[in-house]
Amino acid sequence: METKIRVLVAKPGLDGHDRGAKVIARAFRDAGFEVIYTGLRQTPEQVVHAALQEDVDVVGLSVLSGAHMTLCPRIMDLMKKEGLNDVMVLVGGIIPDLDVAKLKNQGVSEIFQPGASTEDIVAYVRQNIRKK
Amino acid sequence: MAKDVKERPFTTVSGVPIDRLYTADSITDFDYEHDLADPGDAPYTRGIYSTMYRSRPWTMRQFSGFGTAEDTNARFKYLLKNGQTGLSVAFHLPTLMGLDSDHPMSEGEVGKCGVAIDSLADMETLFDGIPLDKISTSMTTNAPAMMIWAMYLVVAEKEGVTWDKLRGTIQNDILKEYIAQKTFIYPPRPSMKLIVDTFEFGTKHVPQWNTISISGYHIREAGSTALQELAFTLYDGIEYVEWAIRAGLDVDDFAPRLSFFFNAHNDLFEEVAKYRAARKIWYKVMTERFHCKNPKSAILRFHTQTAGCSLTAQQPYNNIVRVAIQALAAVLGGTQSLHTNSLDETLALPTEQSSRIALRTQQIIANESGVTNTVDPLGGSYFVERLTLDMEKGCWEYFERLDAMGGMVSAIEKSFPQREIQDAAYDYQKAIERKEKIIVGVNDYVMEEESAIDILLIDESVTQRQFDKLNHVRTTRDNDRVNSVREELRKAAKRADGNLMPFVLDCVRAYTTLGEMCDDLRSVYGTYEEPAF
């Protein structure tokens, strides 16, 4: 039997706006993925620790507060240190265009801005995932 | 295209089915005196004043805040110069969470989605040169509302403005934080005590202040339907009244200072029905459930903000049109004050130019559209009256369910409103993806290449400037005094009886930081973790 894609949906930082995180978590579940939701207000260390513990294939970060250029690079660094190089990282939220390229340079696979459809996100994961 | 339209269900933005035509037969259960009455008369469905905007337009109150207190003070002055009539402060996330700017969790958040306020010193700068006895100020703060309000009161005190002259609002609505926005610190029960303390203090010392703004805005932004927004918000109101009465307050002493805050989404008629039903239901709640004697206790006054969640990052100039429709709904629904969102708010905080267009949108409605010439222009519309009656009916049904759960705090502990909203948010997203709902520029009328617009960037030096200010406060204040007032605050919190407000005021006067005060209460009350559901 094919193993399920495991996704960690995480809310790093102080931002409590979790509508998007909850919607995408449910869409991933409906798509047959295993979803772990971290809950609110996670430090980068907590997010990476959860990714390691849960042995996930994908980490989805949701940030709407404007702190993404502090939080996401920190998470990418910690993931590299932990050897989680083959884990796909996705970022969703209020991410201005000018930060998209910067985040991709740091190893984020894709950024989903407001208006992104859950179907497109699910399809992106299916097409680009490298199962361990 | 025509085929698509046919297959798409005729529903409101909340998914409520709408008939082809409404006639007199649609409202046979409707009675003018009982369901409407004239504006200014109970049950206030048509408006709380007989003349409404003919005597005074609504307060144009643009929510704003970013960077340091100096940055936001300059924006305030700019908005006032351009005809804004009230202030509304947006605080950055560390302040909303009761953390100082140099707390490790604050990293990357300083000054980002609001202004950084760490102590009285920042508050003095924020209101520098603004006459507090002439302007009304709304402050969006919840978990640490008591501390922020105390800072405002002390600024007034230092400027020689007596508290009886102060007008404004603290949001102070913690229930919707557990339900929707999630900016909570303490568990629900001690949080409710802090709120009741502010009701009591306000009644005695700051009589013109709205001690709470019971908010549906964030419930709607989290994905609820219009009905859920209305029902959960009004029921939150019921919960606050019950807690205050249980604490020994007389309903007529505090109820006139309760205010409400609703969202304005795209579905014009559904929104108008929501505001009209809100006034009528609240009148019934206050008179029939709480037996208030002061007529003012039963009058629902509300602020409105257009729906941030309805705006699109795609073709952002289209947002001006969405905001205009939403603002019109709020005005047709009889709002007391209004914030119009800026076209760029799905991308960043608004620029000066975009916030000016948002303010101008209100000014155009007020001065050019003619809708302010008469009160409740939609009153008597078969369609709007049907929607209003249905909105009310749906609300009473939710109230029954919430009563059966033992009230809103218990319902929150059971994750009931959270789950209802989450389901509605998911259904809405799916309806968009199935194209049952068309969002222009997102799932139809899409442009392949869009030109970027200029957005506001927060100067990265904000963090360092804020650290320097905070260090200056910590090293120049009388730290022995700070230790002693903090000790008194902790003791008062442990006693659990008696109002905490005087102790918080003493802490503020000594330049105790917000993080320190909130830590003191954390040490007594603990913190809240959202249950998994």
pLDDT at res. B8: 75
Any idea what the Cα angle at residue B139 is, between residues B476 and B419, rounded to 5°? 120
pLDDT, tens only, B53-97: 999 999 998 888 999 999 999 999 988 898 888 899 999 999 999
In a domain, B65, yes or no: no
Cβ–Cβ below 8 Å for A13 and B425:
no
Give the rounded distance of the alpha carbon of A13 from its chain centre: 13
Out of A37, A69, A113, closest to residue B313 by CB? A113
Interface test with A, best of B322, B415, B429, B451 (most A CBs within 10 A): B429
Does B109 sit within 8 Å of A14, measured CB to CB?
A: yes
Would the CB atoms of B314 and A67 count as touching at under 8 Å?
Answer: no
CA distances from B406 to B188, B228, B239, B411, B414 (A): 14, 18, 10, 7, 11
CB contacts, 8 Å: B422 with chain A:
22, 26
3-state secondary structure of B510: coil
Identify which of B509, B530, B508 has the alpha carbon closest to the alpha carbon of residue B518. B508
DSSP B29: T
Q: Which two tokens stand for residue A33?
A: 């993925």
**Quick one: closest CA in B to A67, which residue?**
B108
| Cα–Cα distance for residue pair B172/B193, rounded to 1 Å | 12
Q: Counting Cβ atoms within 10 Å, is residue A83 exposed (0-12), middle (13-18) or buried (19+)?
A: exposed
Q: Is B265 exposed, middle or buried (0-12, 13-18, 19+ CB in 10 A)?
A: buried
pLDDT tens-digit profile of B109-125? 999 989 999 999 999 99
Please give the residue of chain B at the shortest CA–CA distance from A36: B532
Task: Please tell me the predicted confidence (pLDDT) of residue B497.
Answer: 87
**Is residue B28 within 8 Å of B308, Cβ to Cβ?**
no
DSSP string, A84-129: -TTSEEEEEES--HHHHHHHHHTT--EEE-TT--HHHHHHHHHHH-
CATH code of B330's domain: 3.20.20.240
Supply φ then ψ for residue B207, to 5 degrees.
-65, -20
- The residue of A15, A19, A37 whose CB has the most chain B CBs within 10 angstroms, and thus the best one to mutate to test that interface, is A19
* pLDDT tens digits, B150-172: 999 999 999 999 999 999 999 99
CB B228 within 8 A of CB B269: no
pLDDT digits (tens, 9 = 90+) for B438-481: 999 999 999 988 888 888 887 889 999 999 999 999 999 999 99
**Are B223 and A19 within 8 A, CB to CB?**
yes
Residue listed under structure tokens 């007594």: B524
Q: How far is CA B219 from CA A18, A130, B381, B431, in A?
A: 12, 38, 28, 19
Query: What is the chain A residue with the closest CA to B111?
Result: A66
Dig out the tokens for B11 from the structure: 């529903």
Q: Is there a domain that residue B84 lies in?
A: no
The distance of Cα B146 from the centroid of its chain, to the nearest Å, equals 16
On whether any CB of chain B is under 8 Å from the CB of A65, the answer is: yes
Q: Residue A1 has what pLDDT?
A: 52
Residues from chain B that touch A61, judged by Cβ atoms under 8 A, are: none
Task: Kindly state the DSSP code that residue B137 receives in the 8-state scheme.
Answer: E
How much of chain B, in percent, has pLDDT values that exceed 70? 99
**Is the pLDDT at B4 greater than 60, yes or no?**
no
Chain B CB within 8 Å of residue A17 CB = yes
Instruction: Return d(Cα B68, Cα B126) in angstroms, integer.
Output: 8
R_g of chain A computed on alpha carbons: 13
B529 at the A interface (CB within 8 A)? yes
pTM listed for this prediction: 0.95
Where are the alpha helices (H) located in B69-187, listed in sequence order?
69-81, 93-96, 120-126, 145-158, 175-176
| Structure-token pair, residue A128 | 């680009």
| 3-class secondary structure, B167 | strand
Judged against a pLDDT cut of 70, whether residue B527 lies above it is answered with yes
CB contact under 8 A, B442 and A115: yes
Residues B532, A37: C-beta atoms closer than 8 Å: yes
pLDDT single digits (tens) A70-122: 999 999 999 999 999 999 999 999 998 889 999 999 999 999 999 999 999 99
- Does B3 have pLDDT greater than 50? no
Residue B456 has a pLDDT of 85
Q: How many domains does chain B contain in total? A: 1
Strand order in the sheet with A88-93: A34-37, A6-10, A58-63, A88-93, A110-112
Is the minimum CB–CB distance between B532 and chain A shorter than 8 Å?
yes
Closest partner residue to A40 (CB to CB) among B108, B182, B429 is: B182
Does the distance separating the beta carbons of A67 and B312 come in below 8 Å?
no
Mean pLDDT of chain B: 95
**Is residue B451 in some structural domain?**
no
Contact between chains at B312 and A118 (C-beta distance less than 8 A):
no
Is residue B471 assigned to a domain? no
How many whole angstroms separate alpha carbon B261 and alpha carbon B266? 17
Is there a domain that residue B161 lies in?
Answer: no
Set of chain B residues whose Cβ sits within 8 Å of the Cβ of A27: 426, 429
Helix, strand or coil, per DSSP, at residue A80? helix
Instruction: Tell me, yes or no, if A70 comes closer than 8 A to chain B by beta carbon.
Output: yes
Residue B137 inside a domain? The answer is no
CA B111, CA B122: separation in Å to the nearest integer?
Answer: 12
What pLDDT is recorded for position B7?
A: 66
Pairs of CB atoms within 8 A across A/B: 93
Question: A95 to chain B, minimum CA–CA distance in Å?
Answer: 7
> If pLDDT is split at 50, 70 and 90, which confidence band does B2 have?
very low
Say whether A65 and B105 touch across the interface (CB within 8 A).
no
* Positive/negative CA dihedral, B493, B215, A92, B460: negative
Exposure pattern of B153-172 as b/e (b: 16+ CB <10 Å)?
bbbbeeeebebeebbbbbbb
User: Residue B6: is its pLDDT beyond 90?
Assistant: no
Range of the domain at B406: 2-60+171-368+375-433
CA angle (B199, B200, B205) in 5-degree steps: 100
Edge-first strand order for the sheet with B167-170 is B63-64, B87-90, B136-140, B167-170, B209-210
d(CA B214, CA B234): 8
- The 10s digit of each residue's pLDDT in B316-347 is 999 999 999 999 999 999 999 999 999 999 98
**pLDDT at B13 (0 to 100):** 96
Which residues of chain B are within 8 Å of residue A101 when distances are taken between CB atoms? Answer: none
ipTM of the prediction greater than 0.85, yes or no: yes
Rounded Cα distance, A119 and A98, in Å: 25
Q: What pLDDT is stored for residue A97 in this prediction?
A: 87
Average pLDDT over residues B356-372: 97
What structural domains and CATH numbers belong to chain A?
6-128 (3.40.50.280)
The sheet that has B337-339: what strands, in order across it? B59-60, B337-339, B302-306, B258-264, B212-215
CB of A45 less than 8 A from some CB of B = no
CB contact under 8 A, B109 and A67: yes
pLDDT, one tens digit per residue, over A29-80 is: 999 999 999 999 999 999 999 999 999 999 999 999 889 999 999 999 999 9
Nearest to B211 by CA among B124, B286, B146: B146
Looking at residue B1, its pLDDT comes to: 44
Measured in angstroms, the CA of B374 and the nearest CA of chain A are apart by: 38
Residue B417 lies in a domain: yes
Cβ atoms < 10 Å from Cβ of B359: 20
- Based on the number of CB atoms within 10 Å of its own CB, is B96 exposed (0-12), middle (13-18) or buried (19 or more)? buried
**pLDDT score of B10 more than 80:** yes
Strand B63-64 and strand A88-93: the pairing is unpaired
- Asked whether residue B480 is assigned to any structural domain, the reply reads no
